[in-house]
Amino acid sequence: MTAEAASKREPGTGMKLAIDFGPLLVFFIANSVRGVFTATAAFMFATAAAMIVSKIKLGRVSPMLWLSGVMVIGFGGLTLWLHDETFIKLKPTIVYIMFASILFFGLVTGRPTLRIVLETAYPGLADAGWHKLT
pLDDT digits (tens, 9 = 90+) for 71-94: 999 999 999 999 999 999 998 899
pLDDT greater than 60 at residue 104: yes
Rg from Cα positions in the chain: 17
Q: Residue range 49-74: average pLDDT?
A: 91
Mean pLDDT of the chain: 86
pLDDT greater than 50 at residue 6: no
pLDDT greater than 50 at residue 5: no
Share of the chain above pLDDT 70, in %: 90
pLDDT greater than 50 at residue 103: yes
Q: Residue range 4-19: average pLDDT?
A: 67
DSSP per-residue codes, the chain: --HHHHHHSPPPHHHHHHHHHHHHHHHHHHHHHH-HHHHHHHHHHHHHHHHHHIIIIISS--HHHHHHHHHHHHHHHHHHHHT-THHHHHHHHHHHHHHHHHHHHHHHHT--THHHHHTTTSTT--HHHHHHH-
- Structure pTM? 0.74
